[in-house]
Amino acid sequence: MKKLRCSCLLVGLLFVGCAKGTVERPIIRLLALEYSTQTRLYWQEVVKAFNTTSSDVVVELTAVPWDQGEQHLWDAIAQKEPFDLACVASPWLNRLIAEDQAESLDIYAKSEFKERFLPQLLETTSYRGHLYGVPFAASARLLYIRSDLVASGSEDAEVPPLETWEDLQAVAQSMRDQVQADLTAVGDTTTDPLEVLFPVGLAFGGEDAPLLFSCFLYAAGGRFFDGDGRCVLDSPEAKRALKFLVSLREKGLCNPDADELQGNVLEKLFQNERVGLAVGGSWLAHTLRAESPALEFGLAPLLSLSDKAGVSALLTADALVMLNTCSNKHGAWQFVEYVYQFEQRRSFVARELTLPVLVEVSADIEKLADQPEAARHSLYLTLMEQQNLHDLAQVVKLVREGRALPLHPQREAVFTRLIPYLRQALRKELTPEEALNQATSEISALLSGS
Q: Over 60: is that where the pLDDT of 13 sits?
A: no
* CA–CA separation, 299 and 364 (whole Å): 20
pLDDT tens digits, one per residue of 323-369? 999 999 999 999 999 999 999 999 999 888 889 999 999 998 888 76
Q: Over 70: is that where the pLDDT of 18 sits?
A: no
CA 46 from chain centre, in angstroms, equals 24
Q: Over 60: is that where the pLDDT of 46 sits?
A: yes
CA 103 from chain centre, in angstroms, equals 23
Q: 359, 83 in Cβ contact below 8 A?
A: no
Non-local CB neighbours of 370 within 8 Å, separated by 6+ positions: 393
Q: What's the pLDDT at 12?
A: 38
Going from N- to C-terminal start, the domains of the chain cover 2-140+316-389, 141-314+404-448
152: left (phi over 0), alpha (psi -120 to 50) or beta: alpha
Q: 369, 397 in Cβ contact below 8 A?
A: no
Q: What's the pLDDT at 311?
A: 72
Among residues 196, 159, 190, which one has the least CA distance to residue 176? 196
pLDDT tens digits, one per residue of 47-88? 999 999 999 999 999 999 999 999 999 999 999 999 999 999
Task: List the beta bridge partners of residue 323.
Answer: 102
Burial class (CB in 10 A: 0-12, 13-18, 19+), 30: buried
For strands 134-146 and 275-281, give the pairing: antiparallel
The CATH homologous superfamily for domain 141-314+404-448 is Periplasmic binding protein-like II (3.40.190.10)
pLDDT tens digits, one per residue of 89-129? 999 999 999 999 999 999 999 999 999 999 999 999 999 99
Q: Over 90: is that where the pLDDT of 137 sits?
A: yes
DSSP assignments along 188-211, one per residue: --SS-GGGT-EEEE---SSTTHHH
Q: Which residue did the predictor score with more confidence, 265 or 286?
A: 265
Q: Which residue did the predictor score with more confidence, 101 or 299?
A: 101
Q: What's the pLDDT at 161?
A: 67
Number of other residues whose CB lies within 10 A of the CB of residue 4 = 8
Q: Which residue did the predictor score with more confidence, 388 or 399?
A: 399
For strands 275-281 and 130-131, give the pairing: unpaired
Task: List the beta bridge partners of residue 348.
Answer: none
Q: What's the pLDDT at 217?
A: 92
Q: What's the pLDDT at 61?
A: 98
422: left (phi over 0), alpha (psi -120 to 50) or beta: alpha
Q: 248, 272 in Cβ contact below 8 A?
A: no
pTM: predicted TM-score of the whole model, two decimal places: 0.86
Q: Over 70: is that where the pLDDT of 384 sits?
A: no
Pick the CATH number of 2-140+316-389 from 3.40.50.620, 3.40.190.10, 3.40.50.1820, 3.40.50.1370: 3.40.190.10
Q: 127, 116 in Cβ contact below 8 A?
A: no
Give residue 320's pLDDT band: very low, low, confident or very high (50, 70, 90).
Answer: very high
DSSP assignments along 281-302, one per residue: ETTHHHHHHHH-TT--EEEEPP
Among residues 296, 304, 339, 307, which one has the least CA distance to residue 320? 339
Out of 5-19, 177-191, 338-352, which region has the weakest mean confidence (pLDDT)?
A: 5-19
Q: Which helix (H) or strand (E) holds 32?
A: strand 27-34
